[in-house]
Structure 1
Amino acid sequence: MDFNRTVLVTGGSGFIGSHLVCSLVRRHPDWKIINLDNLDYCCSPRSLESVEDGANYTFIRGDVCNPRLLNHIFNTENIDVVFHLAAKTHVEASFVSPSSFRRVNIDGTRVVLAAARQARHRLQRFIYVSTDEVYGASLDEVFDESSPMRPSNPYSATKAAAEYLVKSYWDKYKFPIIITRSNNVYGPRQFTEKVIPRFLNLLKMNKKCTIHGTLPKSRHFLFVDDVIEAFLTVLEKGIVGEVYNVGTSYEIPIVQLARELIKMVKNVPDSELNDWLEFVPDRPRVDLRYPISCEKLQQLGWRAEVSWAEGIRQTVKWYQDNPDFWADTSEVRGPIGSKFESATDQ
C-alpha cells in the first residue's frame, strides 16, 4: 500500500506517545505510522491494542540510543515527520540515576537527529516534545517562549540540553525542527508514578494520598487529548525553528487535587477528606509551580477544549474501569530495578 506520509513516533508506547499514535493511525489511514519504543517500565503494550492490527501501523521495539537501528529505519523508510517523545521523565528518579537520563534524553536525541539529517529522504518536520520544567519554577512570572531556561533537576536539565541540540540543527543546517513545551499532562493510561494515577492507585488500595512536604505546590494540568491536538496543530501550522508552549490556565494545588480525587473515589463528606491525606517528607528539590503563556500556539488556532471537570471525570472513570491495566504495579514500583538503578550512579 502506498502512503501519502510516513510518521515516526519515538516513545510511542508511553502515555502521551500512545495517545498520539492512536490518534494518527485512526485519523490518517493514508499515513504510515511507525512507533519506535523499547517498552520501558512505564509502558504497556495494551495501550496500543486498539490500533495494533491497523494496516498503517508498524511497531519497532528498539532503543533510540542505537545509531545502527536509527540509521536503518531512516534508510529503509521514507520518514517525512518525526515526533520525538522518547524520554525518561520521572524527576525523583533523575536524582538517583542521572546518567540514565543523560543517555536517553540527550544521547538519544542526538542519535535520532543525526540519523534523520543523514537520511536520503528529506524530512519535512522534526517535532521535539519538551516540558515546561525547563523554565524552572516561578511564583509570579509567567514564562513565554523567550524566557530563559533555568532547569532545577536532572530531568529538566537533560530536556533543556536536548533542546539546545535540536536548536543547533536548525541554526547550522536549517533542519526543520519545532519544539513544544507543555504543562503537566494527565489522562487515561498514565503510569502510576505520576501524581494523579498515583493518588488513584493509593485510594484503590484503601491507602491515604501522600503529600510531599508542606509547601503549597500546585500544577497546571492539561488533558492528553488537548496535547495531541496541539502537536497536530504545530505539525500543520507551526513555523520551523520555533518553540511553542502548550499550556492551560487551570491550576490546582496538589492538596486540593488529592481532596477532589478522594471525594470522587471514596465519596466521603468534606469533614472526612483530611483523614485520607498523609504528609510525608519532601522529595529532592521540587518546584512550586510552572506558569506558562501559550498565546503563540493559540495564534495558530489551538485552544484547550477539555475542561478540568470533564477531563478528571474521564480519567477517574478510566482507572475505575481498568483496575488491572497496571496489574503488576504497586505504590512502590519504580523505574527498572528495585531502586531505580544503582544508588552510586553518577
Structure 2
Amino acid sequence: MISISRTKWMWFYLLLTLVVSSNILIYQLTIMQPLPNQVALGTLFDFIITIPLLTYFFIIRKRYSWKYLLSIAFLGYGAAYLIIPHNMLTSFHNTSYIPVFFEGVFLFIELYIGYKLIRKLPAIIRNFNNNYPNTSTFQERLEEALMLHLKPSRTIDIISSEITMLYYSLFSWRKKQVSVLENEAVFTFHKKTSFVAFYVMMIHAIVLESIEFHFLLHSWSPVISFIALLLNVYAVLLFLAEIQAIRLCPIFLTNHQLHFQIGVMKRLKVSLEDIKSVHYYDGPEKISKKESKHIFDGVLSEFMKEKPSIEIELHSPKKAKFLYGISKNVTKIHLRPDEPQRFYEVVNSKLKDELNL
C-alpha cells in the first residue's frame, strides 16, 4: 500500500478546513445576512462533491477503493444538514431525497454482496472444513475459504472480521486451544497477565453505562439511544471475542514460520528466514509514537501495561494485519510470552537449524 506523505496530509487538512470553515462562517456572520436560499445548494455541493473529490485525490487515489467516496459523500450530507439553517433546506424539496438515494445505493450494495455470499456459501463452507490441516486458526481458515471464491476487497476483510468476532464471542466457549502439527511449538502469552480481569471490568462498565444512559438518551432521542445501545452491544461482543481468541490462539512456531494472533485485533506471520535476531528486550519502557508505527505490539493490554520481555527484529518490513483489513509494515515484534526463556531458546534453536540447512 502506498503511504501518504506528510505534505499531502497538510494540504488536505488545509483545504478541508477552508471549505468547512467558509461554509460555517457564511451562515454565522451577520455581515453576510440575509442570504439567498441558493447558498444552501452551494454548501451541499461543497460537502457532497468537493470534499469527497479532495479526499479522493489526496487520500484514496491509488491506495483505497473509490467506493469509499460514497460513504464520505453521505457523511458530507449529514454535516451539511447540521450547518445549513433548516428554513433554507426546506425551500428545496428535492434535497430530502438525497439521503434516500444514499440509503438505496447502500442497500443495493449490501444485497449484492449478500447474494454473492449466499450463492457461493456451500463451496466456502466446504473449503473452510477442508482447510483444517493447513491452517490452525479459525480466521486463517475462513479467509482462505473466502479468497478461493470471492475477489479480495476491503468488504471481504470486514465480513471476515465480523464473522470471526461473532464466532469467538458466541460460539467458541466449548472449544479448546488450537491444535498444532508434530514438531510445532506453542507459546501462551496470557496466563501470567490480568488481561481477563481488565476486559471483564471493561465489559462491566459498558453494561452499567448502557443501562444508565439508555433511558436518559431515550427521553431525548429514541434513535440516538438505540444507536448507542447497538454500539455498546458490539463493544461487549468485541471484548468477549478478544478474550476467547487470546485464550484459544497462542503463538506457535512451525519448522519454517512464526504465527502470531493477538486476539481478533492483530495477526502476523513471519518466515524464520526473515528474522534477523531474537533477543531479550532492553529498550525503554515507553516507546515513542514514531517508533511504534513500525512495531507489532504483542503485549496484552492490562490495568498497567507491562514492558515487553522479547524483541524480534526482521530483515525487512513485513505486513501485519489488523481488524477490518487494516494493515501496516513492521520491522520489530514485541512480545511478553508466559515462558520468555523457553521462547528465546526454542526460537533461536530453530533459527540456527534454518541457517544450517
TM bucket, shorter chain: under 0.3
Structure number with bigger Rg: 2
TM-score (norm 1): 0.22
Of Structure 1 and Structure 2, the greater helix share is in 2
